[in-house]
Amino acid sequence: MTQADIGVYGLGTMGSALALNLAENGFDVAVSNREADWIGTFVSKAKDLDGDLTGHTELPDFVQAIKTPRTILFMIPSGAPMDDMIDTVVPYLTKGDTIIDGGNADFNATRARTKRLEGTGIHFVGMGVSGGAEGARHGPSMMVGGTAHSWAQFRPMAEAISAKFEGDPCVAHLGPDGAGHFVKTVHNGIEYADMQMIAEIYGIQRDLAGLPAPQIGKMFADWSDGPLSSYLIESAAAVLRAKDAATGAAMIEVILDQAGQKGTGRWTLIEALKLGQSASTIEAAVGARGWSSEKAVRVAAQEALDIGKQEVALPSEADLADAMLAGRILAHAQGFRVMAAASDDFGWNLDMARIAEIWRAGCIIRSALLDVFADAFRAELPHGHMILSPEMVARLGDCLPGLRRVVAAAAMAGQPVPALAAALAWNDSMALARGTADMIQGLRDYFGAHGFARVDQDGTHHGTWDG
């Protein structure tokens, strides 16, 4: 029997989609799954694909069915299940074999697993996969970490199944150990920020302008042809135009305003803080999802809190578009800055231009701006910062006034825009040659010199200050 080019273990939504994608592109694929009764049914669905797809209920048989050196893609839950799988599968592997973790794993765990397998001859790869089930089936964006040996084995298959942007595969080997999973984490953090800004603009049009969902959806659809062209803007238009089959109402009106999250946005924020970087737009988005869950509290607070609303002129659609564009640029700039800091800290040598390019198709944050970002990184960047490139300076100069007017109007009207406001504040902080951190440092020096004693205006000390 012909041995498989690759093994895929885990036939959930993403694993089954990737296995079918590989087979459709002519690769022979061995598959297995913890729940063995799924395997036969799944294999029967793939009989008309170009590549052979064979099922194996026992792990040793599954491993033996793959050509050496083996490439095995695991699409299983991250954390303990992945650690347990390594313990289980390694005894059946031989020198040169590669384990790929294609789930949304914490890059710290990926680095630890890589370290754990050093010296065994077994290679470990952390790979971020973006695009959801549809992308996995027909062409995802993939961010690959791990060794050059593993990449050489996997590259022909990865490039074949990936999304293509004008023929360029949206997949790359980004660096060793946890590089791929880290970049995927930051991708998701940027996605959080982008979605939050879209929601904030929707809120302005719904609550301040009083527009119905389909009309707001048309605005987003109109934006899809210009500099804001992106998958998320197209999705926003589709969501707002959709109708609930049961009631005939706009679908958005029957969806509870409580947003879930899987944790990758929070991971981005945590790692940014560890690296001493600001990810304020992502922080605002994570926070907004968190407090959205406290529906009962918000209902009570609406009655109890006087937020001092004032009458303001409504932002124009042009200003809203500029606010979205400026916010998107600034959120990406923060994300790329976090990746650059991690690259320096962990010695990854991340190629920011290539990262922008592999996000141009197949992934959730694909947008017209990514080519612009890639060009900026390939040119000489003042101080290595994307927003200081001539192109970004010019674009922000055009759209920041709109962002400022939108944030100001929302603040006066009591309309929350946490991500847009955070983007503006970050820009203004970056643009202030003399900031206010001298006051922070002055306070720190003063407290240190006085043993954190509270000191009255007349200079009287009152013991240790515990504030």
- 234 included as an active-site residue: no
- What is the distance between the alpha carbons of residues 415 and 1, in angstroms, rounded to a whole number? 65
| 3-state helix/strand/coil string of 275-339 | CCCCCHHHHHHHHHHHHHCCHHHHHHHHHHCCCCCCCCCCCCHHHHHHHHHHHHHHHHHHHHHHH
How many Å separate Cα 431 from the centre of its chain?
26
- Residue-wise burial string across 331-370, b where 16 or more C-beta atoms lie within 10 A, e elsewhere: bbbbbbbbbbbbbeebebebbbbebbbbbbbbbbbbbebb
Nearest 5°: the CA angle 129, 131, 136 is 70
CA distances, 323 to each of 45, 204, 329, 404 (Å): 47, 12, 10, 8
Contact 338, 178 (CB under 8 A): no
Question: How do beta strands 53-55 and 71-74 pair?
Answer: unpaired
Q: Whole-angstrom Cα distance, residue 93 to residue 19?
A: 21
Whether 184 is a known active-site residue: answer yes
Number of Cβ within 10 Å of residue 294's Cβ equals: 12
Place of tokens 């050496």: 68
Strands 29-32 and 98-101: unpaired
Give the Cα separation of 270 and 266 in Å (integer): 6
Tell me how far apart the alpha carbons of residues 254 and 145 are, in angstroms, rounded to a whole number: 41
Residue of 24, 184, 200, 271 marked catalytic = 184
User: Which residues have a Cβ under 8 Å from the Cβ of 254 and sit 6 or more positions away?
Assistant: 244, 247
The 8-class DSSP code of residue 4 comes to: B
Residue positions counted in the chain: 467
Antiparallel, parallel or unpaired: β 164-165 and 141-144: unpaired
Of 35, 45, 134, 191, the catalytic one is 191
Instruction: Give every strand in the sheet of 141-144, ordered side by side.
Output: 53-55, 29-32, 6-9, 71-74, 98-101, 123-130, 141-144, 171-173
Tokens 């914490």 belong to: 106
Please, what is the end-to-end C-alpha distance for the chain in angstroms? 73
Catalytic center residues: 184, 191
